[in-house]
Structure 1
Amino acid sequence: MVHNNGHYWQIGSKPYKKFEEWAKSLGDIYRVQMGQQNWIILTSDKVVGELLQKRGKKYSSRWPTYYFYQILERNKGFIGSPYHERYRILTPIIHGILDQRNIKRKSDLFDTEFQILMQNLYQASMNAKNGLFPKFYFQLTSLNIITLLCSGKRTKSIEDPFYKDFENYMENHLQLIRITNRLGDFFPFLRLFTSHELHERVIRDRKRSENLYGKLIKEVMNDKEKKSCIIRDLLYKVEDGILDELDIIHIISNLFSAGTDTISASLTWIVAALANNPQVQFKAHQELDQVIGQSRLPTIFDEQNIPYIRAIVKESQRYCGPIYLGIPHYIEEDDEYNGYHIPANSVIILNQYGIHMDEKRYENPKELKPERFLSFTNSSAALANGNYENRDHFGFGAGRRLCAGIHMAELALLLGVSRLLWCFRIENVSPLGKDGKPIPIDMEKIRFGMTIWPEIFHVKFVKRHDNVEKVLFKSNSI
């Protein structure tokens, strides 16, 4: 293992690229010095499997950052929680909410929201002569799924005040927790200069979170019909003395931030990738026409019969997924791996980007090739809990901190991709290049944060056949 000093200033604005570059010369596991922090970078399926999966108990904590644990003082969330007693209390609650059976019971909700999404894209495309950027429509759908699950509430448009409040809050929240705002974690002496300003920003962020999600909790508490929803189930835990209202706010905040951001970012990236690869769209259209026909929308029950669509979902999570480095793991005790010493109190980085671009694992990794996953019949959730060599991708993390919302994400992406391609041909509307074809959307231009977003691009959603309107708008109840 190579020990370097002071690499914080060398990783640049795209650390995943630098970590991938260093892995080629330093190996699949190496250490960098990030100020006063030891970072262990994992860039192979084998190392991830051996450490995060097989030694999950040691590697399942989270980085105790100054932002979360010194300034915030009380973090009872789930995603960023250390691997302690509180986390072990929350784990069965979260997994109970998001387990596969519960998500499948709500499949009608997903079905309805993705039909409304297609209606919205169809209508927006009719009024957008120069194409549109679909992010906000995907984000609205993801938000509605979460709000319906949590409180039975939905938002009708991206102009709705609740949507705008949420979008504004998330934009500020994700900016606040960017790594560039955590210099005090790497260089503690800087806290003397940044602590007050950061403290004020964190307090404002916390108040906005408590206000936004607190309103939802109050609405559920005041609902005379007592409709079943996640918040109501959590309120029963309050009555039992297991949780309090602030616990619910933190749990709901995690569900909203993770559930809306990753799914909507995934769908936005998929649209960009498909616009650049009309040959992939053509094959998908052929499969859909042969299996589904043109008189109904695809459903979750079609999954086993549309292997190419399923392969597009898997390949997109590898090729252009919304997570490049994930949420850091943390080890609190010394460990040894193949002669390498891993010091206690080290931050462990799962370099998903580096693994997904590994030519030894994925032939021609810079190409979108769904065919590489045609033989994969199991879900990503099932594969993630099995042998690391058989995994499709590492977009959902690894080990005991595997994404709790994996079942929801897979269902949403299957419906999103299958229905987008059933309804539309996705056309790139970029200016023409010297070859007379639209200049491809630049997949390297990104907004790097907790999740990865593409820079703004514009596409057209062109209806594929005359039945699109008839099928999409057949029900007046939607």
Structure 2
Amino acid sequence: MGQQCWIILTGDKVIGDLLQKRGGKYSSRPPNYYFYQILTRSKGFINGPYNERYKMLAPIMLELLGQRAVKENSDLIDSQFCILMQNLYRASMSTDCNLYPKYYFQLASLNIITILCLAKSIKDVEDPFYKEFEIFTKSYLELIKITNRLSDFFPILRLFSGNKLYYRVIKERRIIEAFYGRLIEEVKNDSEEKPCFIRRLLHKVDEKILDELDIVYLTNDIFLAGTETVSSSLTWITAALANNPQIQYKAHQELDQIIGHSRLPSASDEPNMPYIRAIIKESQRYCGPIYLGVPHYNEEEDEYNGYHIPANSVIVLNQYGIHMDGRRYENPKEFKPERFFGITESSAVLANGNYQNRDHFGFGAGRRLCTAVHMAELELFLGISRLLWCFKIENASPLGKDGKPTPIDLEKAYVGATVWPEKYQIKFIKRHDNVENVLFG
């Protein structure tokens, strides 16, 4: 790719051998002329190099996103997914009940992060904070698309388009620093001193471990990682379920048998719900929120099976390619949860084990495995199990020649840093008479 050597990994074995077994060599991130030096000033966590600073930041991020933190905050996560179901129920009862659920999912995920980080919540999708976040996140993710990094491959392009991109990056940097700087000031000026993650980070400023610009970009990473992938996943899963009423029927049977109609599913029910678990694993394979993982980078040369891997190569985990590999997944274009029957371990556990036993590669691999994997898995379980407990999901697309709604085309997607399905329309139909009593009783 111009002056850069790119190596695309589209096989489970090579990912296991390089990113896991030789993780020390392949855990950095590629330097970027504009984005890592200007936009984040090398202060980010997700896109930062694997160095002493990363090792210092990792435990800090785990304080909020790690397995222990998820357990400690399970009641908060649970409550937000109750509110999500209430919001979807109200919306489904309106006169025009055709919905595109992305914004409701995004609000639920965002609220979890804002409460944890800021001790504040967002009322609804019309809230000015939500709208501001949604607009600038979309702009930011559009900016960091690989098509805006062509000057990294062909430096001569900086002579022609460099200034325009430079000023665009500078503008985005100012927006980020102003947005999160304002949030940090709100926490500092809170007379009640409500406990939250940013307040804990501010203590690390007092201890000279971080500075306030560190907090800005760490918070940016947390907000993006904590909202985009989960809400994208839920948006994809809902579309896949609308296309597959027979899968919904099997899930409804499991829910009625295990849960009944008197309460919502809870996190403790997950081990007893193999079909719901299989739906979630299959959705992460079939229509996950990321096609290509965040690139890895090696700073020293290596040899693998007779191939010379030059130093300073960009190593890309091709998640879509692996998930559509017919040698690993029979009939990969089919949405078939049954392929994951008998797999009881979480994706987080499987990701740290033998590559052959992994369910999917949606959370990355090696030492840069998604930090928020435990939170994401809990949110996906609560989101999907409760969505299916409350509703039957119907495709509301225009009718085709056969008189049936046209299937939602899951091949059409908006591809940025995360991948979203094209806008679609569905209906949430109340499954039984006790839904309203359980949600609002």
Q: How does 1:227-306 map to 2 (within 5 A)?
A: 227-306=194-273
The residue type paired with residue 349 of structure 2 is A
- Asked if 1:132 is matched to 2:103, the reply is no
Q: 2:177 aligns with which of 210, 217, 228?
A: 210
Are the aligned partners of 1:428 and 1:438 in contact in 2 as well (CA < 8 Å)? yes
In the other structure, the counterpart of 1:114 is 81
The residue type paired with residue 306 of structure 1 is M
Q: 2:289 aligns with which of 318, 322, 326?
A: 322
State the Cα deviation string for residues 203-233 of structure 1 (Å, max 9, x = none): 1111111111112211111222222211111
In the other structure, the counterpart of 2:367 is 400
- Please state whether the residue corresponding to 2:408 is helix, strand or coil: coil
The residue type paired with residue 196 of structure 1 is N
Q: 2:30 aligns with which of 63, 80, 102?
A: 63
State the Cα deviation string for residues 280-339 of structure 1 (Å, max 9, x = none): 100000000000000100010111111111111111100100011010101111100011
- Asked if 1:438 is matched to 2:425, the reply is no
1: CA distance between counterparts of 2:40 and 2:404? 55
2: CA distance between counterparts of 1:417 and 1:442? 20
In the other structure, the counterpart of 2:117 is 150
Q: 2:145 aligns with which of 164, 178, 185?
A: 178
Larger RCO (CA under 8 A, 6+ residues apart): 2
In the other structure, the counterpart of 1:420 is 387
- Please state whether the residue corresponding to 1:237 is helix, strand or coil: helix
Shift in CA distance, 98/404, structure 1 to aligned 2, threshold 3 Å: same
1:69 CA drift (Å): 3.2
The residue type paired with residue 36 of structure 2 is Y
Q: 2:46 aligns with which of 60, 79, 93?
A: 79
In the other structure, the counterpart of 2:424 is 457
- Asked if 1:123 is matched to 2:78, the reply is no
More displaced stretch, 144-153 vs 60-69? 60-69
More displaced stretch, 402-411 vs 208-217? 208-217
1:67 CA drift (Å): 2.1
Shift in CA distance, 152/73, structure 1 to aligned 2, threshold 3 Å: closer
In the other structure, the counterpart of 2:358 is 391
Under a length normalisation based on structure 1, what TM-score does the superposition of the two structures give?
A: 0.91
Count of residues in correspondence between the two structures:
441
2: CA distance between counterparts of 1:389 and 1:246? 41
Are the aligned partners of 1:155 and 1:163 in contact in 2 as well (CA < 8 Å)? yes
In the other structure, the counterpart of 2:434 is 467
- Please state whether the residue corresponding to 1:66 is helix, strand or coil: coil
- Asked if 1:344 is matched to 2:311, the reply is yes
- Asked if 1:332 is matched to 2:290, the reply is no
In the other structure, the counterpart of 1:5 is none
More displaced stretch, 419-428 vs 114-123? 114-123
More displaced stretch, 87-96 vs 44-53? 87-96
1: CA distance between counterparts of 2:136 and 2:39? 17
- Please state whether the residue corresponding to 2:78 is helix, strand or coil: helix
5+ residue gaps, structure 1: 1-33
1: CA distance between counterparts of 2:95 and 2:248? 22
Q: 1:101 aligns with which of 55, 58, 68?
A: 68
Are the aligned partners of 2:62 and 2:69 in contact in 1 as well (CA < 8 Å)? no
1: CA distance between counterparts of 2:418 and 2:96? 30
| Cα RMSD, aligned residues only | 1.1
Are the aligned partners of 1:130 and 1:429 in contact in 2 as well (CA < 8 Å)? no
Under a length normalisation based on structure 2, what TM-score does the superposition of the two structures give?
A: 0.98
Q: 2:279 aligns with which of 294, 299, 312?
A: 312
2: CA distance between counterparts of 1:100 and 1:181? 35
1: CA distance between counterparts of 2:279 and 2:203? 40
The residue type paired with residue 395 of structure 1 is G
1:130 CA drift (Å): 5.6
State the Cα deviation string for residues 10-31 of structure 1 (Å, max 9, x = none): xxxxxxxxxxxxxxxxxxxxxx
The residue type paired with residue 68 of structure 1 is F
In the other structure, the counterpart of 2:415 is 448
- Please state whether the residue corresponding to 2:8 is helix, strand or coil: strand
1:123 CA drift (Å): 0.9
1: CA distance between counterparts of 2:194 and 2:374? 24
1:128 CA drift (Å): 5.1
The residue type paired with residue 76 of structure 1 is K
- Asked if 1:360 is matched to 2:327, the reply is yes
- Please state whether the residue corresponding to 1:163 is helix, strand or coil: helix
Are the aligned partners of 1:130 and 1:458 in contact in 2 as well (CA < 8 Å)? no
- Please state whether the residue corresponding to 2:5 is helix, strand or coil: strand
State the Cα deviation string for residues 143-171 of structure 1 (Å, max 9, x = none): 10110110111100111110011001001
Q: 2:168 aligns with which of 195, 198, 201?
A: 201
The residue type paired with residue 341 of structure 1 is H
Are the aligned partners of 2:142 and 2:417 in contact in 1 as well (CA < 8 Å)? no
Shift in CA distance, 64/311, structure 1 to aligned 2, threshold 3 Å: same
- Please state whether the residue corresponding to 2:34 is helix, strand or coil: helix
- Please state whether the residue corresponding to 2:376 is helix, strand or coil: helix
2: CA distance between counterparts of 1:443 and 1:151? 36
2: CA distance between counterparts of 1:450 and 1:330? 18
Are the aligned partners of 1:323 and 1:452 in contact in 2 as well (CA < 8 Å)? yes
State the Cα deviation string for residues 52-73 of structure 1 (Å, max 9, x = none): 0000010000011112234337
- Please state whether the residue corresponding to 2:7 is helix, strand or coil: strand
- Please state whether the residue corresponding to 1:182 is helix, strand or coil: helix
1:97 CA drift (Å): 2.2
In the other structure, the counterpart of 1:165 is 132
- Please state whether the residue corresponding to 1:156 is helix, strand or coil: coil
1:413 CA drift (Å): 0.2
1: CA distance between counterparts of 2:41 and 2:224? 18
1: CA distance between counterparts of 2:146 and 2:96? 39
The residue type paired with residue 300 of structure 2 is E
2: CA distance between counterparts of 1:168 and 1:434? 38
